[in-house]
Amino acid sequence: MERVTGGPVTGPAWIPEEPNAMPYSKHANAALVAALLLAATAVALLGQNAAPSLPDEAAKLVALLESNAPVYDKAMACRRLAVIGDKSAVPALASLLTDEKLATYARSGLEAIPGPAADDALREAVGRLHGELLLGVLDSIGKRRDPRAVEAVAQLLRSEEGRVAETAARTLGYVGTAEAAGVLRDALNEGPANLRPAVGTACLICAEKLEQQGDRRLALALCEAVRQTPVPKPIALAATHRAILARGREGLPLLAALLDSVDEDRFRLGLQVARELGAEACGTLTARFADRSAPRQALLIAAMSDVAPSAAVPVFIGAVAAQDPDVQRAAIGALGHVDSVAAVRPLIQALAPDNEDLRAAARASLRSLHARGAEAALLAGMKAADGEVRVELIGVLADRRYAAATDALLTEAGSPDENVAAAAFRALGDLAAPTHLPALVKLLLATNSDAVAVQAEAAVAAVAARLADPERRADSVLAALPSTDKPAARAALIRVLGGIGGQGAFAAIGAALGAADTEVKDAALRAMADWPDARAAQPLLSVVKSATDETHRTLALRGYVRLVRLTEDDDATATVRAYADVLALARNLEAKKLVLGGLADVAHPQALKLACEQLDDAAVRAEAAVAVVKIARATATTDPLGARAALGEVLETSPDQPVAAEARKILEQLGGPLESPAPASRLTKLFDGKTFAGWEGNLEWFRIEDGAIVGGSLTREIPRNEFLCTTREYANFELRLEVKLVANKGNAGIQIRSQRIPHHHEVVGYQADVAEGMWGSLYDESRRRKSLADPDPKVLAEVLKPTDWNEYVIRCEGKRIQLWLNGHQTVDYTEPDEEIPQTGLIGLQIHGGPASEVWCRDLEIAELP
């Protein structure tokens, strides 16, 4: 049952931060710690192997409390005893009641242990404790509600000490018996004045308890006693509060008195109590609404609204016409929650445009009003209203999703008032069903106002979208096309078709591309340029080819490029071809730039090539360079040669541009060794430092010493060349190791892309040489038997540590082999011969000859794709 805290505490931002160096781990529940501690103790004491039973555990904890154990241990023992202790633990706990640090822990136990023993102990403590420690005991008695404590606690009412008397009173309140009630009532009447606040509060607490036990009469008596006594206002109010609620209906006259009171606090209490009484209080509230001050009226409205909104409707309606805007607003708000259709007319009146604040409130209420017939009333109201109010009501009908208003809204859509018509179309977009489409289209065609047309087009598209079958959505619009030859109308229909989609719409738009009228043609082109799928590609391309108007060409081209990007699939070559097609057609800079922008996102060697070709064009060189660099970055690992070549071209053509720096960076990454230190995830050990796992060869001449592979011998002549090779082959990789040729005597090397000659000791393949005068050279072992590439001797002299460890890096990538010694490149060779294998084993050579040793360690490899 271990409860262990988690790791770092990083919660939502609004949890206060925690200090960093918190050792939160490994902290277990102290109870468990204590139990384990005690189990160990038990084992020691009792010589048993099992953990103690609960009674045994409790007994051990009691013993601990009686010992000199540290405070913490005792605190945890108390805590545990609160859960498992019985009366046998009480004395030990009680003895801690005088300990300032431990008293609370002890009382946890005494509060929790059932039975009279704990009560007895707490009562007994009342007689001997003083000061704050006594207050704690009183608190515990109050929680246990020990009826036998009343007498002892009552005596403390006379105490002069600090807060003892007050706390004693409170405790009596929580004990809450009739006996306690009597003591408290006497104290209220006869006790000292300065104790009255505490006693008053205690009486109310006691009244609560008594009521829970069913003794309402006594509870009420206590409340009344408090009300008759001079006590601080909050207590007097609370007493009245309880007195009213205890009486229920019979409390209404008292409620009325509160509401009539000149005193603001009493009035406010009345509002609160009214809410708690509920619907019964509504009459009392409404009866005293008239002739009140405006602030009070506003508050009364709020209370009525909470209590019984529908019963107070006449009051609300009357108050909508009040002088005071706060009262109006309260009334308008309240009407939003009633169940009465009578609310509609006054709320509509409140929509009149002089006060934006009230209008907003009226709007909100009309939206939320839940009353049968409300919508029909709203509809009627809308028809009867004019100007702005009509517009508002159209909006409300839409917000309420009142579909039955559609016919009326269709009428409004034809209104000569632009605002009304526009609002109607907006609403129809939300409410109309597809069956209304023909009517909507007709209305769209009839409108003369641009502002309205925008809403109308949007509405038609929105409603059409509700048809399940995508191919049917454009039907109404298509049907209307032949019926009008007004260019503006046709253009509008074409626009709408663009928003609806489907094959029919596509065909119509395509046809309209060839329209004579420029407005229609323009609309068609824009619709085609925004078309969401690949169908539009060919028509757009045709426009690019054939358009005479530059704006149109650009529009079409822009649309085409957008489509190519949108419909990019796995076949990058098709995408590149599409770009190439349109690039050939691009006549101006803007167009070419657009294409290059799209091309830059295609990570493929052919895209790279196409982009490179544009480097020749000085006008678009900058954009082409950016595209090349972006593509090269993406293709660098799969097509390093192509990327390198392209980047080289960028450097040639645009050496001073910022893009050149980017190009250089990538080239460095491509051309040089892997970043150092190489990320652990890429380099893996080729030699584990201890065994020849993964290697094979003549172990008479190869051994492992001090974590290194040692080839040869310093004491014996070496009869012939020996090779230790990997058991698997490698193709493209970067190999790193450290190698030392003892005293720089002898001849050794690192074989790469090599093969063993069957039944022979020789190995065929490239070798990175290790020998005086030959360090850093690339030799072709047992094959062309010559040095393929050599370093600059001056560089070598500076770089080589002849008798010490040198770092060798060998990188094989396609046909290219590069060598570095101690970070300096010694060879950069590209194999011209197609027949030479580009895969093979890796090996260590020690040359036959006089005694010599080569040492190799820290062999690591990162394979390249």
Partner 1 sequence: MEIGKGTHTITRRQLLKRAGTAAGALAFPAITPGRALGKDGAVAPSERIVLGGIGIRNRGGLVLSHMLNEPGVHFAAIADVRADRREAVKAMADAKNGDGSCATYRDFRELLARDDIDAVLIATGDRWHATASMLAAEAGKDVYSEKPCAMSIAQTQRLADTIGRTGCVFQAGTQRRNISNFVHAVELAQTGKLGRLHTLHASIYELTDRHDWLPAQPEPPREVIDWDMWLGPAPWRPFNQAYVDGGWRGFYDFDSGARLLDWGAHTLDLCQWANQADATTPVEYEPLDLPGDNAITCRYANGVKLVLRRTGWLDLGTCPVRFEGDDGWIETGDSGQTVVSAETLRAELPAPTLVGTAPESHARDFFDCVKSRGTPRANAAVMRQSHLACHAAALAWKLGRKLRFDPVKEEFVGDDEANRMRSRARREPWSV
- Contact positions with partner 1 (CB under 8 A) in 346-375: 357, 361, 364, 368, 370
Of residues 86 and 388, the one with the C-beta less far from partner 1: 86
Pick from 59, 98, 124, 143: which binds partner 1 (CB under 8 A)? Answer: 143
Cβ neighbours of residue 264 closer than 8 Å, sequence gap 6 or more = none
DSSP 8-class letter at 587 = -
Pick from 253, 278, 655, 719: which binds partner 1 (CB under 8 A)? Answer: 278
Binding segment (CB under 8 A) for partner 1, from list 21-29, 253-261, 435-443, 783-791: 21-29
Of residues 360 and 511, the one with the C-beta less far from partner 1: 360
| 229 contributes a contact to partner 1 by CB under 8 A | no
| 14 contributes a contact to partner 1 by CB under 8 A | yes
Pick from 62, 92, 188, 204: which binds partner 1 (CB under 8 A)? Answer: 204
What's the token pair of residue 244? 């009213």
| 416 contributes a contact to partner 1 by CB under 8 A | no
Rounded Cα gap, residues 88 and 77, in angstroms: 14
- Which strand (E) or helix (H) includes residue 761? none
Q: Residue 309 in contact with residue 334, Cβ under 8 Å?
A: yes
The CA–CA distances, whole Å, from 633 to 95, 614, 660, 791 equal 79, 18, 13, 30
What's the token pair of residue 62? 């009691």
Q: Which residue is listed with tokens 């080589």?
A: 800
Rounded Cα gap, residues 183 and 545, in angstroms: 105
Of residues 278 and 802, the one with the C-beta less far from partner 1: 278
Of residues 23 and 758, the one with the C-beta less far from partner 1: 23
Q: How far is the CB of 477 from partner 1 (least distance, A)?
A: 24
Of residues 277 and 409, the one with the C-beta less far from partner 1: 277
| 51 contributes a contact to partner 1 by CB under 8 A | no
Rounded Cα gap, residues 670 and 679, in angstroms: 16
Sign of CA dihedral 37, 42, 45, 50: negative
Pick from 156, 269, 512, 578: which binds partner 1 (CB under 8 A)? Answer: 269
- Contact positions with partner 1 (CB under 8 A) in 148-187: 163, 167, 170
Pick from 139, 412, 639, 853: which binds partner 1 (CB under 8 A)? Answer: 139
What's the token pair of residue 245? 């609620």
Closest CA to 74 of 107, 96, 52, 100: 96
What's the token pair of residue 40? 């160990």
Pick from 272, 411, 637, 698: which binds partner 1 (CB under 8 A)? Answer: 272
- Contact positions with partner 1 (CB under 8 A) in 298-337: 298-299, 302-303, 305-306, 325-326, 329-330, 332-333, 336-337
Rounded Cα gap, residues 837 and 52, in angstroms: 76
| 249 contributes a contact to partner 1 by CB under 8 A | no
List the x/- string, 555-584, binding to partner 1 by CB under 8 A.
------------------------------
Of residues 96 and 440, the one with the C-beta less far from partner 1: 96
Cβ neighbours of residue 426 closer than 8 Å, sequence gap 6 or more = 394, 395, 398, 455, 458, 459
Of residues 232 and 514, the one with the C-beta less far from partner 1: 232
Closest CA to 270 of 290, 294, 299: 299
Q: How would you label 318-335 residue by residue, b for 16+ Cβ within 10 Å and e otherwise?
A: ebbebeeeebbbbbbbbb
Rounded Cα gap, residues 178 and 126, in angstroms: 21
| 277 contributes a contact to partner 1 by CB under 8 A | yes
- Beta pairing partners, 816: 813, 830
| 52 contributes a contact to partner 1 by CB under 8 A | no
Cβ neighbours of residue 441 closer than 8 Å, sequence gap 6 or more = 460, 476, 477, 479, 480, 493
Q: What is the DSSP string of 334-375?
A: HHTT-S-GGGHHHHHHTTSTT-HHHHHHHHHHHHH---TTHH
| 234 contributes a contact to partner 1 by CB under 8 A | yes
| 245 contributes a contact to partner 1 by CB under 8 A | yes
Of residues 157 and 750, the one with the C-beta less far from partner 1: 157
- Contact positions with partner 1 (CB under 8 A) in 723-762: none
DSSP 8-class letter at 243 = H
Of residues 21 and 516, the one with the C-beta less far from partner 1: 21
Pick from 271, 632, 764, 778: which binds partner 1 (CB under 8 A)? Answer: 271
Pick from 103, 464, 599, 844: which binds partner 1 (CB under 8 A)? Answer: 103
Q: How far is the CB of 278 from partner 1 (least distance, A)?
A: 6
Binding segment (CB under 8 A) for partner 1, from list 69-77, 540-548, 575-583, 665-673: 69-77
Q: Residue 734 in contact with residue 862, Cβ under 8 Å?
A: yes
Pick from 35, 61, 65, 135: which binds partner 1 (CB under 8 A)? Answer: 135
Of residues 205 and 625, the one with the C-beta less far from partner 1: 205
| 276 contributes a contact to partner 1 by CB under 8 A | yes
The CA–CA distances, whole Å, from 766 to 638, 644, 734, 754, 847 equal 24, 24, 14, 6, 15
Pick from 125, 126, 138, 602: which binds partner 1 (CB under 8 A)? Answer: 138
Binding segment (CB under 8 A) for partner 1, from list 239-247, 416-424, 510-518, 712-720: 239-247
- Contact positions with partner 1 (CB under 8 A) in 615-644: none
Counting residues that bind partner 1 (by CB under 8 A) gives 100
Rounded Cα gap, residues 719 and 741, in angstroms: 18
Backbone torsions φ then ψ of 690, nearest 5 degrees: -130, -35
The CA–CA distances, whole Å, from 707 to 218, 687, 801 equal 94, 9, 20
- Contact positions with partner 1 (CB under 8 A) in 82-101: 82-84, 100-101
| 102 contributes a contact to partner 1 by CB under 8 A | yes
| 432 contributes a contact to partner 1 by CB under 8 A | no
Cβ neighbours of residue 11 closer than 8 Å, sequence gap 6 or more = none
Pick from 43, 51, 95, 111: which binds partner 1 (CB under 8 A)? Answer: 111
Binding segment (CB under 8 A) for partner 1, from list 79-87, 501-509, 511-519, 578-586: 79-87
| 76 contributes a contact to partner 1 by CB under 8 A | yes
